Structure 1
Amino acid sequence: MKIGAVGDNCMDVYKQTGEAFPGGNPVNVAVYCVRLGENASYTGVVGNDEYGRLLKDALKDKDVDVSHVRELPGKTAITEVEIVDNDRVLGDYDEGVLEQFVLTDEDIDFLASHDIVVSGIWGKIEKNLGNIKSKGVPIAFDFANKLDHPLVEEIIPHVDYAFFSYDDGEDSFIKDYMKKMHAKGPQLIIVTMGEKGSIVYDGASFFRFGILPCKVIDTMGAGDSYIAGFICGILQKKSIEECMEVGTRNSSITIQYQGAW
């Protein structure tokens, strides 16, 4: 099976130490899917700077297909990160050359050759999702915690597996929201809730899964790890509960070291 990750990337630069780690939602998902034994590619753009070369080389080292990563003149995107009580706090963001990111027809055909395509709210591909979906490839999409973002209504009819994050735990609001979103087209609505676990709605029932206790070093990449695990479970035709477990186990690995990967 092959996962086509597409959209944003960045270098996560830690303010306390000055260390820089490759990241970005689709980038992370691609790496984590390979870690779980699947094949994955990343489609996007980087700058022609040191960070761009570092990010591309790091993905190659993780056996991610980077044949559709383009270099543009300028800076690779940067996110400032600060660790507060073992939790990552995101600071200033410089989009760099990602501001110019546009999928080509060749990119779209390449993505359509995969078993599933995954992207996120900052991936800048919302105008292409319908085209990709029309080619018969399912779409997984991370809306993060942007439940009220105007792009949700535009994007979600094209999405098969819609991921959200919500910090207030399982309550009437989030369950009503999941029902509303499911009615717009996705097969599954998946919500991660941090230390409160995760919840999935399939149009008929809610499924719940807790967390696996572990020593938390850095929560960077926790949600992306869950998404990767869940997607791999889907491709392996596992049950919803099994997909939730794979996602949770994958996330618990990531949060025990510094940086996304």
Structure 2
Amino acid sequence: MFLEERREKIIDYLEDVERASVAWLASTFNVTKETIRSDLSALARQGLVQRCHGGAIIVRRNLQSRLIKETGGNFAVLLKRLESQRHKQPYQREKTRKMKGKVCILGSFNVDIVAKVARFPKGGESLLALGSTLGPGGKGANQAMAASRAGARVHFVSKVGTDQFSQFAFDHLSGSDIHSFRLYQTDAEPTGNAIIYVSQQNGENMIAIYSGANQTITDDEVAELTHELATADVLLLQLENNFSATLNAMKLAQAMGVQVIMNPAPFSSDILSCLHYVDVVTPNETEASLLSGIEVTDLASAREAAQAIVRQGARRVIITMGSRGALIYDNQQFQHIPAFPALSVDTTGAGDAFNGAFAAAIAAGDTIAQAATYAAAFASLAVEREGASNMPQQQQVAVRLAQR
């Protein structure tokens, strides 16, 4: 059977049953799993399927597809149509197909180059690293992994280049716990990458990021997220993509009645004028200081900063404060969530672990305090592992919560 014929038959089968595993397709077509993975990756790049854990799901043409077609791909017109529908009556999401606890994430995929060092180098100093690794990263991908491990059904959208790291991204996401994903490609920029130093003294890190393809997401690509938002509870965002795409995703989610959680990292002043689109904003101490204009050094200053952020338009604020825990400001009430004790090995993905787990808990119906407590336990386990994408399992989180 020729390659194109096999791929057409794969599409025909998925049209009937919606999803299939790599193992089943390999057995059916009498080819290797590697061949099927290559087929599915090619079909995903054409927008015909979505890769998911162990297989693929067909991309269906539904109400949202017709809306996008009718509006001629004009994002502003699409948004206006959705908002008009919502004002006439509450937006009807596809309840019959919806699974409890779905999180959509528009975010970055980076290749992380990590060097372990005894201490951080001084200016102009060269240090011999104690070890180095090359692995998957990016706040979006890390948070998608965390939300998946925390029990949510996750759909992840990102963009990569056409370089050698694009296949690395496909392979990583295909083999992950993430339920489904969509990777767009561009030949204008390389796949995003990050250079990371991790100090062996205390597990702290220094990071330099080149966003690359992450900064090239288009209006049309954001509009395609409409399909997944129709069955989602939460949209989780960060600031490693071009801000125009992030802003459009926030507007789209608001028009469709989906909660927006914004992790304002790395900080950009662009977010200041758009906080009214955000249901929960989750800065760390540095980001909270930049958002509010108040230097956060302790719980008292964190309270002042949270109030200032709400005055600028945010509905609810959670300031993550490392070993000091997290401060919630919701409905003019403060609540402090103490940190869980942890033996820190690598703090690189701590914030991503917290945000992904928090979004999963909110999507599952937890209150903001319950979700923040769960996320704090989840993050305490994440920092005990090496690698920003190395997230704990639900059972481990349950044990840590029970210990408190």
Report the TM-score, using the length of structure 1 for normalisation.
0.90
Query: Shift in Å at residue 46 of structure 1?
Result: 0.9
What is the letter of the counterpart of residue 191 of structure 1?
I
Q: Which runs of 5+ in 2 are unaligned?
A: 1-100, 116-128, 287-295, 391-404
Quote the sequence identity (%). 18
Alpha-carbon contact 1:33-1:228 (below 8 Å) kept: yes
What is the letter of the counterpart of residue 277 of structure 2?
H
Cα distance in 1 between the residues matched to 2:298 and 2:360 = 25
Cα distance in 2 between the residues matched to 1:67 and 1:256 = 27
Pick one of 325, 332, 344 that aligns with 1:204. 332
Q: Which runs of 5+ in 1 are unaligned?
A: none
More strand by share: 1
Cα distance in 1 between the residues matched to 2:338 and 2:265 = 19
Alpha-carbon contact 1:49-1:75 (below 8 Å) kept: yes
Cα distance in 2 between the residues matched to 1:67 and 1:195 = 33
Query: Shift in Å at residue 241 of structure 1?
Result: 2.7
| Count of aligned pairs | 258
Alpha-carbon contact 1:25-1:119 (below 8 Å) kept: no
Alpha-carbon contact 2:102-2:360 (below 8 Å) kept: no
Is residue 6 from structure 1 mapped to residue 126 from structure 2 by the alignment?
Answer: no
Task: Specify the alignment match of 1:26 in structure 2.
Answer: 140
Which of the pair has the greater relative contact order for Cα pairs under 8 Å at 6+ separation? 1
1:122-180 per-position Cα deviation (integer Å, ceiling 9, x unaligned): 2322330223311211111001373xx42122221100011100064434433222112
Counterparts of 1:75-86 in structure 2 under 5 Å? Answer: 75-84=190-199, 85=201, 86=203
What is the letter of the counterpart of residue 63 of structure 1?
D
Is residue 49 from structure 1 mapped to residue 163 from structure 2 by the alignment?
Answer: yes
1:80-129 per-position Cα deviation (integer Å, ceiling 9, x unaligned): 000122112113x2222223222425423134222111111223223302
**Higher alpha-carbon Rg:** 2
Task: Specify the alignment match of 2:263 in structure 1.
Answer: 142
**Residues 122 and 96 (structure 1), Cα distance of their counterparts in 2 relative to 1, 3 Å cut:** closer
Report the TM-score, using the length of structure 2 for normalisation.
0.60
Cα distance in 1 between the residues matched to 2:177 and 2:227 = 17
Cα distance in 2 between the residues matched to 1:100 and 1:244 = 32
Moved more, 232-241 or 197-206: 232-241
Is residue 127 from structure 1 mapped to residue 237 from structure 2 by the alignment?
Answer: no
**Runs of 4 or more consecutive aligned structure 1 residues displaced over 4 Å after TM superposition:** none
What is the letter of the counterpart of residue 327 of structure 2?
I
CA RMSD of aligned residues (A): 2.0
Counterparts of 1:83-122 in structure 2 under 5 Å? Answer: 83-84=198-199, 85=201, 86-91=203-208, 93-104=209-220, 106-113=223-230, 114-122=232-240
Q: Secondary structure at the match of 1:122?
A: coil
Cα distance in 1 between the residues matched to 2:168 and 2:239 = 24
What is the letter of the counterpart of residue 101 of structure 1?
I
Task: Specify the alignment match of 2:85 in structure 1.
Answer: none
**Residues 161 and 208 (structure 1), Cα distance of their counterparts in 2 relative to 1, 3 Å cut:** same
What is the letter of the counterpart of residue 80 of structure 1?
I
Alpha-carbon contact 1:51-1:76 (below 8 Å) kept: yes
**Residues 214 and 67 (structure 1), Cα distance of their counterparts in 2 relative to 1, 3 Å cut:** closer
Q: Secondary structure at the match of 1:83?
A: strand
Query: Shift in Å at residue 232 of structure 1?
Result: 2.1
